[in-house]
Amino acid sequence: MTEQGLAGRVGIGITTKDRWDDLSVTLGKVAAFGLAAAEVVVIDDGSTEPAPAALRAEHPGVTFIRYDESRGYIARRNELGRLLNSEFYLSLDDDSYPHLGDLARAADWLDGAADCVALAFPISRVGETPASISTLAPLPLRSYIGCSHLLKRKQFVELGGYTEELFYFCEETDFALKAQRAGLSVWFYPPLVIHHFASTRNRNHGRANFFLCRNTLLIAWMRVPFASFARLMVTLPLTMLLNRAHRPYAINILRGWFAALGSLPRFAKFRAPLTAAGYREWKARPVPLQGLKFLADIEAKRS
């Protein structure tokens, strides 16, 4: 499919806040990848300053929407799903962009997979440069990494999009579980590689650990059988605290646990768990990870 053929079929949605330099890199890479004709909508979620005039002039085909109020990227991703006119919705973080492969072929694959609602991609990080595209066939995953994923836009909206009350972190897992309950699934599509240069601006690891613990437990409360939720409620904070990477944020993890416990009544209205069989089927799939080692591990297991 030509670049012009993508226009109207794949739309790109990006939400950003106070990271105009990073967005400039991403938009430049998107255009260089051959997607200049695609519909691109950028939502400014309450940045201190509006988009620089030079950035807007450099990308005249991009629609910039500014809000003074910050509602968080989850709510804005939902809004992008409703705003775009395309059949498919490529969601990108402002520090992520397609690096290798063919987006049109990914859209064709997704179009032909009746029970698939979202595609995950290999995510390369700084210092990782794949020499070639993997020939590994697509396979089902539990979820996907939010910095870049491709959605059937109308189905995404019909399923209710992301649960905005989660506010930050883990919304992809929650959506994948909702999709599983509706008889839909998430697949890994190796031939399209996304690069995530992981901007350090506005990153707060303590905040991330708080929401990781809180939201993992709330998602379990909403989506999984009660016995599995009860086990996770007991083991999750301990598992995180035993992990060396999480240990410096012990207080944030414990705060997240107590916040989840206090929020259970408020999230009860969302509780719609999978059957035990459906949950086992979902849990048997691989967990997506950033970095090309994940791709290599999958290939090794399949060979």
pLDDT in tens, 237-283: 999 999 999 999 999 999 999 999 999 999 999 999 999 999 999 99
Instruction: Name 96's bridge partners.
Output: 196
pLDDT in tens, 196-208: 998 878 778 999 9
pTM: 0.93
Tell me, what DSSP letter sits at residue 217?
H
Q: Determine the Cα–Cα distance for residues 10 and 33; give it in Å rounded to an integer.
A: 14
| pLDDT for the residue 201 | 81
Q: Determine the Cα–Cα distance for residues 10 and 32; give it in Å rounded to an integer.
A: 16
SS3 50: coil
CB 255 within 8 A of CB 210: yes
| pLDDT for the residue 223 | 97
Amino acid at 101: G
CB 179 within 8 A of CB 116: no
Mean predicted lDDT score pLDDT of the chain: 93
Q: Determine the Cα–Cα distance for residues 218 and 220; give it in Å rounded to an integer.
A: 5
| pLDDT for the residue 294 | 83
Best CA proximity match to 16, nearest among 71, 93, 83: 93
Mean pLDDT confidence for 193-221: 92
Best CA proximity match to 38, nearest among 94, 107, 138, 99: 107
Going by C-beta distance under 8 Å and a sequence separation of 6 or more, which residues neighbour residue 235?
A: none
| pLDDT for the residue 1 | 38
Q: Determine the Cα–Cα distance for residues 294 and 296; give it in Å rounded to an integer.
A: 5
What share of the chain has pLDDT > 90, as a percent? 84
User: If pLDDT is split at 50, 70 and 90, which confidence band does 296 have?
Assistant: confident
pLDDT in tens, 27-74: 999 999 999 889 999 999 999 999 999 999 999 999 999 999 999 999
Find the length of the chain. Answer: 303
45-60 b/e (C-beta count within 10 Å ≥ 16 → b): bebeeebeeebeeebe
What share of the chain has pLDDT > 70, as a percent? 97
Tell me, what DSSP letter sits at residue 33?
I
Q: Determine the Cα–Cα distance for residues 22 and 41; give it in Å rounded to an integer.
A: 16
Instruction: Name 62's bridge partners.
Output: 40
Residue 301 has pLDDT above 70, yes or no: yes
Query: Whose structure tokens read 């939400």?
Result: 15
| pLDDT for the residue 128 | 82
